[in-house]
Amino acid sequence: MKFLDQAKIYVRSGDGGAGCVSFRREKFIEFGGPDGGDGGRGGDVVVECVEGLNTLIDYRYQQHFKARPGMHGMGKNRTGARGTDVVLKVPQGTQIFAEDNETLIADLTEIGQRVVLARGGNGGFGNAYFKTSTNQAPRRANPGQEGTEMWIWLRLKLIADAGLVGLPNAGKSTFLAAVSAAKPKIADYPFTTLHPGLGVVRVDAREFVLADIPGLIEGAHEGHGLGDRFLGHVERCRVLLHLVEGTSEHAGKAYKVVRRELEAYGHGLAEKPEIVALSKADALDPETRKEQFARLKRAAGRTPLVLSAASGEGVETALRALLAEIDAARGEEKDHAHNAVANKEGAGEGESSWHP
């Protein structure tokens, strides 16, 4: 299955059905009167967040989605049937943008969340609706309203608790494979990872989701390498694990390259909690290890972790550090939510119930 995280599609809701002009004509009933029914309403275009999807590949092969129109009204006061809705099923973390690809319409972050993108047109009134004491035989009916149409962008941003960033060949996929059941492609050449991957990590009887994205190189924000658009998949992460390859020429410079790209990308990535680690420690001799460790410590301004996904050295420590940051971020989110509720209740109590 291919991974696709962006798609442009056309949606159109159904037109409303036309009202009917009809009169009751039966034997022995001389003044039957109007009995034209109303038209049915057109179908809606609905987007639903479902479980079991992790890509937008379904919208690579079909880009046009149209809801069914409502049925027209009929005699004997029969209302037309409602048009069938079109339901677009998308993975968790999908954002919906307008045609300009900037205006956010909806952000689907929870399973079961539904958004009505385009409502169907209302059905037209039949002539029975227009009868009055002075117009007892109206010969008019309304046509149904037209549905709405639009082009929209679907953009997927994976939802994970922690994200892996670093230069190509920093050992990100090896780390993900070592700590989870994920099986990313691993090889000794740059850009082995072409698409983001997710893995469920278990540590100290706790679980969290870890995301791996393709490596960044200098100038990625200008489109060099695979570019920086995959950074959107770690926007929702609570903490970043920045892996710096121990076998690189200069660990400090490698760290700064990725930091510059994070700052150039924006969207709050540079401000996220970050755990820095020197990877591939098993391939370093003691002298080189000490030198690279010192370089990375100077560049990062903090003491980095040292780990090796191949030998398992430092992996548990890194996972526990990630889990601690995730717990801290969750606690802050709960505090913000609690404060927002308290402020809302306080504002409600402060309002006066007296009206002149």
Binding site for GTP, residues? 166-173, 191-195, 212-215, 279-282, 308-310
Note whether 201 and 209 are within 8 A (CB): yes
Between CA 21 and CA 137 the distance in angstroms is 10
Local structure of 95: helix, strand or coil? strand
What angle (nearest 5°) sits at the alpha carbon of residue 314, between those of residues 308 and 320? 130
Local structure of 198: helix, strand or coil? strand
Which parts are annotated binding residues for Mg(2+)? 173, 193
Q: How many residues does the chain have?
A: 356
Q: Write down the H helix ranges in the chain.
A: 58-61, 172-179, 251-265, 286-300, 315-350
Q: Which residues contact 79 (CB under 8 A, 6 or more apart)?
A: 37, 38, 39, 40, 73, 123
φ/ψ of residue 283, rounded to 5: -95, 5
Q: Which residues contact 138 (CB under 8 A, 6 or more apart)?
A: 34, 127, 130, 131, 132
Which parts are annotated binding residues? 166-173, 191-195, 212-215, 279-282, 308-310
Which stretches does DSSP call E strand in 124-187? 149-156, 162-165
Beta bridge partners of 242: 165, 276
